[in-house]
């Protein structure tokens, strides 16, 4: 009898047993991670970026640069207001021919400052978008690892899901793993600058 069972466990039946064992290993791994076995997981990409150490660092840096830009803008506005007041006071003593070039030069100066400040704001917005893109590029291997660990086949943006349980949301787990893998990203960004 034992010889008969041993012969059955060889060949194709043995391969089938190995496949069955492997198929049950993924759900067990997912259950050990505290996430129910599911083929579909959800994630909030907004929260993933905003609550990660990387996203918080980028937010602080952009907020600080925005504050500096606002201070600079206030100084420029104060300077231009003073110049406008001086020009208005001088207008009474000048002929129209003398005043026109001064007014045109002032208008050009105002327009130049306005365009310069707008360009700085645009650059700051681009930096935020580029940092976000860089974050998701660096986070992708971690998200793939989570997908495999949970035995899922797809991760969907939580905002696009009509109905799901909170158990399918891996955002907190992803933030923890990404923070461990890349931290706030400053050392990675600095090494790319070299």
The pLDDT tens digits of the residues spanning 28-60 come to 554 555 555 678 999 999 999 999 999 999 999
89-129 tens-digit pLDDT: 998 898 989 999 999 999 999 999 999 999 999 999 999 99
Count CA atoms closer than 13 A to 39's CA, side-chain side.
1
118-146 tens-digit pLDDT: 999 999 999 999 999 999 999 999 999 99
Task: Quote the CA–CA distance of 58 and 51 in Å, as a whole number.
Answer: 11
Q: Given the DSSP bridges, would you call strands 40-43 and 154-157 parallel, antiparallel or unpaired?
A: parallel
pTM score, two decimals? 0.70
């Amino acid at each position: 009898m034992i010889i008969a069972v041993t012969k059955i466990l060889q060949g194709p039946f043995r391969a089938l047993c190995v496949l069955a064992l492997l198929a049950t290993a993924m759900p067990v791994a997912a259950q050990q991670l505290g996430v129910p076995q599911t083929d579909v997981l959800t994630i909030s990409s907004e929260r993933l970026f905003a609550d990660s150490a990387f996203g918080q660092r980028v937010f602080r840096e952009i907020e600080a640069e925005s504050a500096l830009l606002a201070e600079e803008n206030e100084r420029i506005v104060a300077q231009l207001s003073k110049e406008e007041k001086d020009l208005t006071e001088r207008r009474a003593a000048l002929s129209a021919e003398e005043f026109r070039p001064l007014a045109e030069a002032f208008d050009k100066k105002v327009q130049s400052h306005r365009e310069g400040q707008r360009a700085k704001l645009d650059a700051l917005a681009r930096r935020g978008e580029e940092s976000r893109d860089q974050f998701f590029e660096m986070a992708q291997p971690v998200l793939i690892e989570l997908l495999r660990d949970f035995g899922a086949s797809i991760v969907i943006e939580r905002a696009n899901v009509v109905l799901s349980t909170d158990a399918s949301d891996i955002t907190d787990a992803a933030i923890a793993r990404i923070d461990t893998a890349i931290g706030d990203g400053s050392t990675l960004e600095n090494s790319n600058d070299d």
